[in-house]
Amino acid sequence: MLRREFLAVRARLTADDVRESAAALAGRALELPELAHARTVAAYVSVGSEPGTLALLDALRARGVRVLLPALLPDNDLDWGAYSGEDSLARVQHGGKMALFEPAGERLGPDAVTDADVVLLPGLAVDARGMRLGRGGGSYDRVLARLERAGARPALVVLLYDSEVVERVPEEPHDRPVHAVVTPSAVRRFRDA
């Protein structure tokens, strides 16, 4: 029910709202020291009314950062490919799910994410503890578990709208807190992550 509520609020955003928020979000995110020093960033391409990521992806590439983007596998796990600009993306329809923009080039394997200095995570909300509410498919839970098994310690940053930083979201035993949330107006860090 909580996921539906956040999605309903996003559905009311106009294209101008999403575009303006994307520019502000990119500006805020680019101020993060973690991104300033990153050589490899695992990110994603926003779809629909998600907080926009393309401006941020292009700015990272312009800095010489290697940007990895996910490709959804049939079991909901994620493979990864390199981003080299909007023309390197393919729109992929996954059954009854939403269409996603994925890297069209070579697949690097699910473990490629373990090379990332920063992982930018999608979400619907984050709470005061840094716990992230995702869409419920489990793809990023698998990514976080893979990072933990590999002993990788990238900065985990979720990109959201201002209204999606809330007091508390439901938590399951496998959930892990993020290090920071970036919204169009602020950055908030979480010490428990």
Closest CA to 162 of 126, 112, 136, 121: 126
User: Is 139 a known ligand-binding residue?
Assistant: yes
Closest CA to 105 of 89, 118, 117: 89
Closest CA to 143 of 97, 172, 109: 109
User: Is 88 a known ligand-binding residue?
Assistant: no
Structure tokens at 171: 């938590």
Q: At what angle do helices 15-30 and 54-62 cross, to 10 degrees?
A: 30
User: Is 136 a known ligand-binding residue?
Assistant: yes
User: Is 137 a known ligand-binding residue?
Assistant: yes
Residues 6+ apart with CB under 8 A from 140: 78, 121, 122, 132, 134
User: Is 133 a known ligand-binding residue?
Assistant: yes
Q: How far is CA 153 from CA 110, 156, 189, 193, in A?
A: 16, 9, 16, 11
What would the DSSP string read from start to end of 79-117?
A: EEEE--SGGGEEEEE-TTS-EEEEE-S----GGGGGG-S
Length of the chain: 193
Q: Binding site residues for substrate, as ranges? A: 45, 50
- Binding-site residues for ATP, in ranges, read 132-140
Name the binding residues.
45, 50, 132-140
